[in-house]
Chain A
Amino acid sequence: MSNATGTILRAFGTILCLIIFWYFVVSIIYFVITLVLGFEFDLRVSLALFVVFTIFRMFYPKNVFI
C-alpha cells in the first residue's frame, strides 16, 4: 500500500472513530432519558437522534460548507 493511500485510509479511520464516538455520546444521553422517563430504548430513535445531531453540527455554530 502506498503512503498516500495509507494516509487517506487513516483520515477516514479517524473520522469513523469520531462518528462512533458522537453516536455513543448521543445514545448514552438518550438512554439516560429513557431510564428517567421510563420508556424503552429504541435503536432507530437513537440513529435518528444522531442524524439530527449531525445536521445540527453542520450548521451551528457555523455552516461547515462555507
Chain B
Amino acid sequence: MELQKAGTGLPNMERVFIKRILVPIVRTFFTWEIALFMVKREVSIITNLTKDISQIDMQKQIIIDRTFAIEDDSRRFSIDMVLEHLVIAGALVKDTIKSLSSETVPPQEIKIEDVKPFENSTEALEKFLVFYQTYFDMIETLPKKQSIATKKHPWFVSFNNFDWSIFMYMHTFIHRRQIEEIISKLKEIHE
C-alpha cells in the first residue's frame, strides 16, 4: 500500500476542527497542573499497554487504518517507532517550553519530517520512560507563568509555553490511541 509522504499533514477538516474547536476549548479548561497530570496518566497507560508485548511485536511494522490526528505516513509505524517519535517530538516540545519560559523564541523551524522515527530500536520503551521523567521534572520546577513569546506549530496556531504543555498531553494521547490500534491489529494477526 502506498502511503502519502512525511509532512503531508492532516486532512483539512481534521486540522480546522483541532485548530478552531479543540485548541480554544482545551486552552480554556486546562491548567499547567491538569496538563501534567494528564501526560503522566498517558505515560502510565502506554506502559501498561506495552509491558506484555514481545520485542518482535514491538518492532513489527503493520499498516493500520488512519487514526485521528495522525498523518498518513505514520500509519506504518511499529510500537517502538511510535515511542521513538514521542521521544523525538517530546524533546523538541520540552526545549520549546523551556525556551519560551524565558521569553526566547527557538530559532529553528519545527518540521514534521524532522520528528519521524528512524531507529525502530529495542530500547525505545526504556528511552521513552527516561525521557518522560525528565519532562515531568522540568515542568514541576518550571515557574507557572504563561509566556508572551510563542512558537508556531506547523499544523495549527502559535503556542506559548503553556499551550505547548497542553499539546504535549494531546500529542501523547493521540499516539497512545495509535498504539492501541497497532496492538489490536497485532492481535488480529495472531488469531
Q: Known A3-B177, A62-B146, A66-B157; judge A15-B26 contact (CB<8 A).
A: yes
Q: Which of A1-52 contact B (CB under 8 A)?
A: 2-4, 6-8, 10-11, 14-15, 18-19, 22
Given A18-B34, A19-B29, A64-B28, the answer on whether A7 and B177 have CB atoms closer than 8 Å is yes
Q: Which residues of A contact B24 (CB under 8 A)?
A: 58, 64-65
Take A3-B181, A22-B29 as given contacts and tell me if A11 and B34 are in contact as well, using a CB distance cutoff of 8 Å.
no
Complex interface bits, B128-170 against A, C-beta within 8 A gives 1, otherwise 0? 0000000000000000001000000000011010000000000
A sample of 25 cross-chain residue pairs with beta-carbon separation below 8 angstroms, ordered by A number, consists of: A2-B65, A3-B64, A3-B178, A3-B180, A4-B66, A7-B67, A7-B69, A7-B173, A7-B174, A8-B68, A14-B38, A15-B25, A15-B26, A18-B34, A19-B29, A54-B28, A57-B29, A58-B24, A58-B28, A61-B146, A64-B23, A64-B24, A64-B27, A64-B28, A66-B157
State A2–B70 Cα separation when bound (angstroms): 14
Residues of B within 8 A of A10 (CB): 173, 177
Contacts of A22 in B (CB 8 A): 29
Query: By CB atoms of chain B within 10 A, which of A57, A64, A66 has the most?
Result: A64
Instruction: Given contacts A22-B29, A64-B27, list 9 more A-B pairs with CB under 8 A.
Output: A3-B180, A4-B67, A18-B34, A58-B28, A61-B146, A62-B146, A64-B28, A65-B24, A66-B158
Task: Give the A-binding residues of B (Cβ under 8 A).
Answer: 22-30, 34, 38, 64-69, 146, 157-158, 160, 173-174, 177-178, 180-181, 184
A3 adjacent to B67 (CB under 8 Å): yes
Q: List B contacts of A19 (CB < 8 A).
A: 29
Closest to B67 in A: A3
Name A19's closest neighbour in chain B (CB-CB): B29
Q: Closest Cβ of chain A: how far from B35's Cβ, in Å? A: 11
